[in-house]
Structure 1
Amino acid sequence: MDKEERKAAEAERLTEDLSDYLDGVSEEDFDPVAVERWLAAAEELDGAEDSFDAGAAEAAFRARHGDLFPRPVSSPEVRRNLRPRRLLPRLAGIAAAAVLVVALAAQSLGVDLFRHAASWTRGEFTFSTGESEMPETVSYSHGQAALDAYDVRVPMMPTWNPAWEGDDVPGLDVTVTEEADGTLVFTEDHRTDAGDGYTFVVRQRKDKQQAEADIQGKDEPDTIVYEFDGRNYYILPLDAEQYRITWACGRYSGEIWGDMDLEQAKHFVRSITEPDEWVYTAPDMSIPPKYETIQEAMEAAGIDTGYAPAWLPEGFVTVESDTYVSEETGWYSAYLFATDVEGERNLSLSFDLRTNPGGVGTTVYPKDDTPVVTFEKCGITFYIISNGPWRSVAWMDGGVAGSIGGNLTEEECRQIVDSIPRYAD
């Protein structure tokens, strides 16, 4: 028996040992140290991929522990990173540890079970995972991203949204449709279930005359003509505390209508060509976070803490943290949000583990025109995405996706990555 055959035999024995252990252990008696020892031993066998069929070993393991593994999903999942997430708490038990072991075992033996692709336009950076490089249906995280996708470079979408309080927070729905005459209609809806809220619409017409014809209320006595940044906006009162705003620029026409007062209507208009400056607001720190560190949250979710950074810039205090575990979809997630009041900046850390290679998932990062920065460590590509004062560093390593973002410099992003044990030089 040659060296490679001995490695293959040892790998098969390790898999059987782990399987026997999981057969006999209860959730109360589960020892993560035993799993760590197994992983360490499996990693030492790196190079056995030529003679060891990791895919077959995984299939056998899944067959033996079928009750622990998720069923394949048929529809794509889309997660939009427009603001920090609040994840529902779940318990991560023995199933989370088991699926983690299988995914990382295949990787340690040289088999990448997960396909992924990164792409970006002027307005979005997108990570896609699964069998398809892109999701089955096109979606946009905001209206400007839809305009960017169609290479519309004329500023037409507001960049400001009023703050809504209470439980009825407007949702977000972005669509692009084509009318019979070839007009493209870009719609960004912010509506509650009751229909309250506001809507942005941009139409791409054939010429300037058609766009001008979309303007409403030019001759109405109640119409307010608001001039800003070289454009005329026509603000027409509707019902109480409701307005409609229309305007045209070249062959594009715009419309904003819904619940707002006059000052909010003018603020919408100004934000189209002059985005608001980012202003720091200290988050609510009255409720203690569930986990103090991202390592604690990842451990609770069953995600290898070796992917977590050992260094973060000074001054950040944890405000909120949570985990999410879905055995059905094979999605395990840990999240932490921190703030630095003195430095007036925020920080968000998110780690996801997907254990179903056949599932499809997408993560969307809004971005500005700053070029995406890429660099490599240990064969993994890291992307630094800028969106105004916010920078995110994102990457994928097999079934694990990492995202760290905040009011950070590029150098701080690189230092954070350098501190991750998994990618230590």
Structure 2
Amino acid sequence: MSRRAFWAVAAVIAVLASMVTVQAFGMDIFGFFGRWTDEQFTFTGSADKAGYQEKDRNYPFAEGETAEFSTLDEALEAFRINLPLVPHWFPERFGELEVTGSVMPSGMLIFASSGEGEQFLTVEYSEFGEDGPAVVVEKDKNETIVYETNGMRHYIVTDHGDCRAAWTVDNILCIICAPITVEEMERIIGSIYSDIDRKRMIELIYTGNGGDPALASGEEKLHYRSIEEALEEFQLDIAAPKWFPEQFGELEVTGTVMPGQKSIYAWVETDQKDFLGISYAKYGEGIPGTVIEKDGNSPVLYESGGVRHYLLTDHNWRKAAWIQDGIECIIGGTVTEEEMKRIIDSIYLDGEKEAPSDEYAGLLQAALDECGISGEFVPTWYPEGFEASEPEIIRTSRSDIVNTMFQDAGERFFSIRIHRYHSSEDVESFIFEKDKTPVEQYTSGTKTVYILSNNDTITTTWSDGLIFETICGNLTVEEFKKIIDSIDS
């Protein structure tokens, strides 16, 4: 698992994870028991449902039952599916979708429809087993179109006036059908991942005027050795980031001069279609700045180095924008909020190091005190060579969370998360994904710690009443145990 993927999983755990119980002298004193299958780990207040289970359907209602939902997002949330599946655009001639969710013998089925007669659009998500999807998508003699976006392959076929798209995500088959053109279907699919396509996003982020620099009038120089070299040549008195997530290699740096504007932009894309870009632009009088696309989430104000940065989301992308000494700065890419903040922080470090490891316990405890979370949760031992992010506090209607990320100069990383739930019902509804490796129960002091693996990632978790702690990453099990043992030492 890549570092970016790990942080993405860690962010999901902030919302989805639940913990297990503290035990004293082998006796459960809080009422929560670990429960797991080959693929999932969760919690139950019932002792007879604890331990390994052959299967765990974990659906909101029983097999054979059907429920209505107001939106596709609401239906997917009810089935605890956190995947990019829902289109944000349909042709205007189709009205609101009517959505139902059912539990079939094969698993979940979500079906949505809009319109009537010949103008009838359907969207369907259904689970399939190890043998793969059993649905046959009818088509005419026209060739199948493979439409790739966001690293996914979508298959589009026509059938005598109808257009159908089919693709799979994890173990979910997705099908859209309607009397529309192939171009409209591609736009529907593209809207799942963003309101604008990647080419337009690149243009907006890097040129500041929506044009292609390679075709613009004026001068252009390609392949600077670094962002710093380009900034110096363009006489833009501003610092560049000194840290990027490790999945991104060397950035390609280009500078352009156009009437009333000079710009520097850098770009890198991985084989997994993750991408990162940075742009700096200086505009002349009367020339408007960049219009930055975003989704419906409100901007987040993040101050670092005495500068106000605005953090934006655009569906699967994250962006940061700010003005410094008349220079417009934009960072965009497939990074987490914590990674974006660390990129920004690295602009202003000037070689200063983060807090040494012996201060991490104090920083974490201060964040817990601010949340009013009491108890023994702070480790006093960490592996050497790791640096930590500033503890983050997240408050939701269901819980209060304190989270800290650690990483070294190589590929090793872990996070510590303390999660206080407001009710036991919230605890029992959340799930950890895991592989088929058996769950280990480890006793440390009065804690019973559950240790589970998911490919290259190890997760350790336990609870103290409604307060749960998770430490996860790609350390060894012995290192995790040493961190855990240090909490009570």
Q: Which has the higher helix share?
A: 1
The two structures have a TM-score, normalised by structure 2, of 0.40
* Bigger relative contact order, structure 1 or 2 (CA pairs below 8 A, ≥6 apart): 1
Q: Which has the higher strand share?
A: 2
